[in-house]
Amino acid sequence: MTDFDRTLSELTALPVADRLRVVESLWDSIPVETPLPISPEQREDIRRRIAAYERAPDNTLTWGEVLDRLRDRG
């Protein structure tokens, strides 16, 4: 077992709240300017969404509207 595997095994044994803290800490440790790789499929999806927005910019929801809709489902 490698050090990585051992560490991962220990981390996954933590309670969920602690694992979430680890994930957040790791994410925050990545410099903002670090380019994140995206797949060709993700790139195409982004292009499709931008094009849809540009065709109908008024056909969007604010973050508050999204939250309201999600809350209404419950």
Q: How far apart are CA 51 and CA 45, in angstroms?
A: 10
State the pLDDT confidence band at 17, using cuts at 50, 70 and 90: very high
Mean pLDDT over 10-35 rounds to: 96
Domain locations in the chain as residue ranges: 1-36, 37-74
Helix and strand tally (H, E) in the chain? 4, 0
Q: Is the confidence at residue 49, as pLDDT, over 90? A: yes
